[in-house]
Structure 1
Amino acid sequence: MTAAGPTGADLTAGDAALRLIVMECFGVEVPTFQGEGPSCGHPALFIRLSRCNLSCAKCDTKESWDTSRFDLREWSSKRTVEDLVAWATSSPVKLVVITGGEPLLQQARLVPLVEALLAAGKRVEFETNGTIAPMPELLVDGVRFNVSPKIASFGMDEAESLVPAVLEVFVASGRAAFKFVASSVADLDRVAELADAHQLAPVWVMPEGTTADAITATTRVLADAVAARHWHLTTRLHVLAFADARGR
């Protein structure tokens, strides 16, 4: 067995050598917060994986998948599980957010990473688009899923972005919150249809926007209608606090 970083969590030699395609890691050298969803405002470390199975027009991390505009080799690197565990355990921060791209594209290689992080006393949140069912090995204590299905207004064909069978898996797991990006009350009507059809709960609504002014304006458009439905409302804290700077 090989020690995985300063925590002493053990990985087999094979697990330690597994490599993930990573776009960026941040939160150790310059501390930050989880900016969205149920853990908004919690100190957090981020492991952002590269590659996605969707191509949303309003995606804010197109560097992770859009080969028409970016050379993905320049925007990503391969890092071992051992390296990522050592990086995360160098910080006292407990929450590790694994995001993307779409992280569950690499989930077989994520299992040993998550196991080592949990053994080191961390808790893990996945940010996923809800089109890929999680492996049973990831449905364990200490792991949560922020599932963000993409509706048509986000610039994605719902025939591709909404996968009912996968949403059912997340609902049944009891480990998921469902977070929707919205810019209008009409968007909330569509979210309500989906929530009713697939029994999605809890529902979180996040205002669309990449500037503080846009976030504030959209929040005011949505707030009463979100409250009337007894849903949760989240801001985008990284936009408000850090002006949407990369790595914050």
Structure 2
Amino acid sequence: MTTPQPISLGPQAGEADFGLIVAECFGVEVPTFQGEGPSCGHPAIFIRLSRCNLTCTKCDTKYTWDWSQFDPRKESTKRTVEDLLAYAALSPVELVVITGGEPLIQQARLVPLVRGLISAGKRVEVETNGSIAPLHELVIDGVRFNVSPKLASFGIKESKSIVPAALEAFVASRRAGFKFVASTLADLDRIAELADTYRLAPVWVMPEGTTPEAITATTRVLADAVAARHWHFTTRLHVLAFADARGR
């Protein structure tokens, strides 16, 4: 496996000249789990891509896009598909989670990576904010999309984060679940509006928070109302187990 080299380019320039812009990979050297959504608790390898098309104030991975706080040359590396496939092959774990940032910004470059992972016997979950429709080359057996549309309460204008055509494409793919971060009962009302408008299903609700205490408190606020709507509920296992440590 080749050693990734620090990016020597600006945050946008020249990004089509190599494989993928990666923030971090983890789960091989120190095993971990998928912390959220339908596969919560499953052993997993993570490939976190850099860059995002949104600027959510409550984002917990701002090191993938917020260059007012972070240096992209320190927070990003350029990796070839072959390098990333070799990394995943070091682990017997079946599930590979491709997350971000927003990974579908680089989805044309994801196609050979995803195909290689599936050929190697892996299954892939793509964590996406749902504002970019997936290429049909990614809508294939072995791939699932964990679509997490961002509400205004997450610190972003919904005119940017809620993209009807993209949501419709995910629904049509029949390979997507819809995972919403929520803090209040009012958030659940907004989720219901979106689910009804765009026929989003299945719906997963995840309590907002980056500490075990916050996750527990928000869970107790939301749990009864989520159950009453017959939606799925997911915790953030990595926060509870590893105190939201980076790379876990």
Question: Shorter-chain TM-score: which interval?
Answer: over 0.9
CA distance in 2, matches of 1:233, 1:166: 24
CA distance in 1, matches of 2:164, 2:218: 28
Percent identity of paired positions between Structure 1 and Structure 2:
78
Partner of 2:158: 158
1:87-126 to structure 2, matched below 5 A, reads 87-126=87-126
Structure 1 runs, 4 residues or longer, greater than 4 Å off: none
Partner of 2:49: 49
Contact 1:18 1:81 in 2 (8 A): no
Q: SS at the partner of 2:124?
A: strand
Contact 2:24 2:76 in 1 (8 A): yes
Q: For each residue in 1:127-166, what CA deviation from the matched residue of structure 2 results, as whole angstroms up to 9, or x when unmatched? A: 0000111100000000000000000000000000000010
Matched, 1:174 2:174: yes
Contact 2:18 2:78 in 1 (8 A): no
Q: For each residue in 1:98-139, what CA deviation from the matched residue of structure 2 results, as whole angstroms up to 9, or x when unmatched? A: 000000000011100000000000000000000111100000
Normalized against structure 1, the TM-score is what? 0.93
CA positional deviation for 1:71? 1.1
CA distance in 2, matches of 1:121, 1:218: 37
Q: SS at the partner of 1:30?
A: coil
Matched, 1:227 2:193: no
Q: SS at the partner of 1:74?
A: helix
Q: Specify the code of the residue in structure 1 equivalent to 2:90.
A: S
Contact 2:171 2:199 in 1 (8 A): yes
Q: SS at the partner of 1:28?
A: coil
Q: For each residue in 1:6-36, what CA deviation from the matched residue of structure 2 results, as whole angstroms up to 9, or x when unmatched? A: xxxxxxxxxxx95100000000000000000
1:63-212 to structure 2, matched below 5 A, reads 63-212=63-212
The size of the alignment, in residue pairs, is 234
CA distance in 2, matches of 1:144, 1:80: 23
Q: SS at the partner of 1:54?
A: coil
CA positional deviation for 1:44? 0.2
Partner of 2:5: none
Q: Specify the code of the residue in structure 2 equivalent to 1:28.
A: V
Contact 1:180 1:206 in 2 (8 A): yes
CA distance in 2, matches of 1:104, 1:85: 18
CA positional deviation for 1:68? 1.2
Normalized against structure 2, the TM-score is what? 0.93
CA distance in 1, matches of 2:159, 2:79: 33
Q: Specify the code of the residue in structure 1 equivalent to 2:105.
A: L
1:5-24 to structure 2, matched below 5 A, reads 18-24=18-24
CA distance in 2, matches of 1:45, 1:72: 23
RMSD: 1.2
CA distance in 2, matches of 1:68, 1:158: 23
- Give ranges in structure 2 of 5+ residues lacking alignment: 3-16
CA distance in 2, matches of 1:170, 1:98: 16
CA distance in 2, matches of 1:18, 1:146: 26
Q: SS at the partner of 2:60?
A: coil
CA distance in 2, matches of 1:210, 1:111: 32
Q: For each residue in 1:210-245, what CA deviation from the matched residue of structure 2 results, as whole angstroms up to 9, or x when unmatched? A: 110110010000000000000000000000000000
